[in-house]
Homo-oligomer: A and B are copies of this chain.
Amino acid sequence: MMKMIIPSNQRSLEIDLSENLLKTNEQLARENRSLLDRHGIFAVDILGSVGSGKTTLVQQLVLKLKSRRRIASIAGDLTTTIDADRIRSAGADVVQINTGGECHLDANIVGQALGKMDLAALDILLIENVGNLICPAEFPVGAHRRMVVVSTSEGPYMVVKHPYIFMDAGVLAVNKKDLAGIMEVDIEKLKQDALAVKPGMKVVFTNGRTGEGVDDLIAALELPEA
């Protein structure tokens, strides 16, 4: 008794509607990409749960890169401006997008943000998505690279429980590596879990607070030469 698995195909109308929505999003993502390419801007879509350390890593990337690259950020969040304020303090221009209840950024809203930015004055755009490892999976925003941040403090199951988000990601940052011991999390196991879902993924171990591993992260992102 009580051991069945219920499939999730119960709402076919909803699925049809959502397929249209996804197709529209993909078209808008291609338009964003074209716009970015015309301006020679390399964009990274950064994903991870709230508390994984996305904003701290964006701050570290800004600090390391800002002397030699023109860098800006888009920060997605339900209602607060905490992330944008932190990134701005590191020295990058930031567009804050408050999504209200929406659980992910999409190509439409990122396109609106691009329309208000001075793209001619930019080399690199770091797009910090809403803190959620499920919903953004299906919504490419037009970035050249997708990077996922998972923290050791989130326990051992973050990768195996979010397979979809890794399938389209090129880089995984396993963050807060200094807490792996106390959290009893095996960072090599997290790496193997990611490689099982996405062979060839670049996995780096970071500590956003100290900046450890940020040079490895920059290398893994394969930013174009200045």
Residue of B nearest to A121 (CB): B1
Binds B, one of A63-71, A91-99, A199-207: A91-99
Residue of B nearest to A154 (CB): B51
Q: Please determine whether A50 and B155 come into contact, CB atoms closer than 8 angstroms.
A: yes
Tally of contact residues, A, Cβ under 8 A: 63
Q: Please determine whether B51 and A8 come into contact, CB atoms closer than 8 angstroms.
A: no
One of B6, B49, B99 near A109 (C-beta < 8 A): B6
Instruction: Identify which of residues 105-164 in chain A touch chain B, using a CB-to-CB cut-off of 8 Å.
Output: 108-109, 112-113, 116-118, 130-135, 137-138, 151, 153-155, 157-158, 160-164
Answer yes or no: A192 CB below 8 A from chain B CBs. Answer: no
Binds B, one of A29-37, A78-86, A217-225: A78-86
29 contacts between A and B (CB under 8 A): A1-B117, A2-B95, A2-B117, A2-B118, A3-B94, A4-B96, A5-B96, A5-B97, A6-B113, A7-B100, A8-B98, A8-B99, A8-B100, A14-B21, A17-B17, A50-B133, A50-B158, A50-B162, A51-B153, A80-B160, A80-B161, A82-B160, A101-B137, A103-B135, A130-B134, A131-B161, A132-B134, A153-B179, A182-B182
| Additional A-B contacts beyond A1-B117, A2-B94 (13; CB < 8 A) | A2-B93, A4-B95, A4-B116, A5-B98, A6-B98, A10-B108, A17-B17, A49-B50, A50-B154, A78-B161, A101-B134, A103-B134, A103-B135
